[in-house]
Chain A
Amino acid sequence: DAMVIQNPRYQVTQFGKPVTLSCSQTLNHNVMYWYQQKSSQAPKLLFHYYDKDFNNEADTPDNFQSRRPNTSFCFLDIRSPGLGDAAMYLCATSSPDGADTQYFGPGTRLTVL
């Protein structure tokens, strides 16, 4: 089945230790998104790629970076995680159906010790 895959599902890191979260898709969608979701809140868009074109949200901290080496893969790098970065990180892709329907992966739960 075509899908969005995120690895790992659970990630524990230490305060200040860089961490990378991975997303891959078999849907061949040209747009990929990274969201941060804290407990009992709606997802918050961090950035997205339209093909290789990177689009950063204005309020995304500089601590968050992303790479998209090819259509299928996208990475979220947190350079120096703080306690406030503990959250669920969701990857999504969107289809060219005119309404940019987004399909989400299962998420990576990040814990910062």
Chain B
Amino acid sequence: AQSVTQPDIHITVSEGASLELRCNYSYGATPYLFWYVQSPGQGLQLLLKYFSGDTLVQGIKGFEAEFKRSQSSFNLRKPSVHWSDAAEYFCAVVGSARQLTFGSGTQLTVLP
């Protein structure tokens, strides 16, 4: 069965600094990978997704993620964080049962 690990429970960065959120997955075949963001009291918003092709995918709000098969990783990056980026971020994979398996999430705090 597939699984997703987000090793960082909580990350704090200063506004304007760069950001990288880590995600590692376990899945035997080519994965479909997603990053979602959740603001407090809200639903999940899709940031970006990887199906195939170019391993660097661009998303909304200036985010990008890179799929690295050799490292089983799909890390999310942003060159300059804004205060409005403070939220919880979930990495997820669609596996053989065509269901989303989520990581445990990374809470991002942005300092002024």
What is the interface of chain A, defined by CB distance below 8 A to chain B?
4, 6, 40-43, 45, 48, 88, 90, 92, 98-107, 109
Total A-B pairs, Cβ < 8 A: 49
Question: Known contacts being A99-B49, A104-B43, A107-B42, is A43 close to B102, with CB within 8 Å?
Answer: yes
List the B side residues contacting A101 at CB < 8 Å: 34, 46, 49
Q: Contact at B43–A107, with CB atoms within 8 Å?
A: yes
Q: How big is the B interface, by class?
A: 20 to 34
Which 3 residue pairs of A and B lie closest in terms of their CB atoms, listed nearest first? Answer: A42-B102, A99-B32, A104-B43
Report the Cα distance A105→B41, complex, angstroms: 11
Q: Contact at A99–B94, with CB atoms within 8 Å?
A: yes
Q: Contact at A102–B100, with CB atoms within 8 Å?
A: yes
How far apart are A17's CB and chain B's nearest CB, in angstroms? 23
How far apart are A21's CB and chain B's nearest CB, in angstroms? 13
* B residues 1-52 in Cβ contact with A at 8 Å: 32, 34, 36, 41-46, 49, 51
What is the interface of chain B, defined by CB distance below 8 A to chain A?
32, 34, 36, 41-46, 49, 51, 90, 94, 98-100, 102-105, 107
List the A side residues contacting B45 at CB < 8 Å: 104
Report the Cα distance A75→B98, complex, angstroms: 22
Report the Cα distance A13→B45, complex, angstroms: 27
Q: Contact at B51–A103, with CB atoms within 8 Å?
A: no
List the B side residues contacting A98 at CB < 8 Å: 51
List the A side residues contacting B51 at CB < 8 Å: 98-99
What residue of chain A has the Cβ atom nearest to residue B41's Cβ?
A109
How far apart are B86's CB and chain A's nearest CB, in angstroms? 15
List the A side residues contacting B105 at CB < 8 Å: 40-42
Question: Known contacts being A99-B94, A100-B94, is A106 close to B43, with CB within 8 Å?
Answer: yes
